[in-house]
């Protein structure tokens, strides 16, 4: 005679992994991007389950994120109205970084943004990274000349006078 029983085993996940950034730390944008354009996506992975492994993203300077959730927040009534001076916004759930105002490479050619990835565990675990966004002028000479022949081989007799035509190397420039 055999008997069976269903046993529910609740294995409580411990929030023992902090998010780890896996997206590039440096990107290049052109300053003709429209306001609202997607600039890049930041991404961090977290090996825990459910809330412990759910990651949200913030700019460090938008300091409304509570990395240690039990800080006394009695005097932080103004924090919700602070807005970023950066021309970028970040979507907490997707990590999408969008342009919020026009870029001008001549005015500022690089931004270093500190980004926080935090999970939703109790307590939360967070990690920071720096994202560098380099801004190129739209009219910049983006395409340096590229030699068509990777190796140009010419043979020339050693007794030819200086200035003798030995061959032609062609280069193209897409600008």
Chain residues in the site for Ca ion (CB under 5 A): 13-17, 46, 48, 52, 119
Cβ proximity to Ca ion: between 14 and 156 the closer is: 14
Cβ proximity to Ca ion: between 38 and 45 the closer is: 45
CB of 41 to Ca ion, least distance (A): 20
Across the chain, where does the E strand assignment appear? 20-21, 26-30, 38-41, 44-45, 55-59, 88-90, 96-99, 110-119, 126-136, 146-147, 171-172
Single out the residue of 63, 43, 61 nearest to residue 117, CA to CA.
43
CB of 125 to Ca ion, least distance (A): 5
Which two structure tokens, joined as six digits, stand for 77?
């009534």
Single out the residue of 27, 45, 13, 8 nearest to residue 133, CA to CA.
27
Which two structure tokens, joined as six digits, stand for 60?
């460090």
The three-class DSSP label of residue 134 is strand
Cβ proximity to Ca ion: between 40 and 52 the closer is: 52
Cβ proximity to Ca ion: between 18 and 133 the closer is: 18
CB of 27 to Ca ion, least distance (A): 26
CB of 15 to Ca ion, least distance (A): 5
CB of 47 to Ca ion, least distance (A): 7
Cβ proximity to Ca ion: between 31 and 46 the closer is: 46
With vertex at residue 80, the alpha carbon angle to CA 132 and CA 72, rounded to the nearest 5 degrees, is 100
């Amino acid at each position: 005679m055999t008997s069976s029983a269903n046993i529910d085993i609740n294995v409580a996940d411990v929030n023992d992994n902090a998010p780890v950034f896996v997206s590039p730390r440096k990107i290049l944008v052109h300053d003709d991007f429209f306001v609202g354009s997607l600039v890049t996506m930041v991404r961090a992975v977290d090996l825990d389950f459910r809330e412990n492994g759910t990651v949200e993203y913030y700019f460090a300077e938008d300091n409304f994120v509570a990395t240690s959730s039990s800080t006394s927040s009695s005097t932080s009534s103004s924090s919700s109205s602070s807005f970023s001076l950066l021309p970028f916004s970040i979507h907490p759930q997707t990590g999408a970084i969008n342009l919020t105002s026009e870029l001008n490479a001549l005015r500022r050619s690089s931004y270093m943004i500190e980004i926080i990835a935090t999970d939703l565990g109790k307590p939360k675990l967070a990690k920071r990274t720096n994202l560098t966004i380099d801004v190129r002028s739209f009219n910049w000479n983006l395409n340096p000349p590229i030699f068509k022949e990777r190796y140009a081989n010419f043979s020339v007799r050693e007794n030819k006078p200086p200035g003798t035509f030995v061959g032609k190397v062609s280069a193209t420039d897409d600008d």
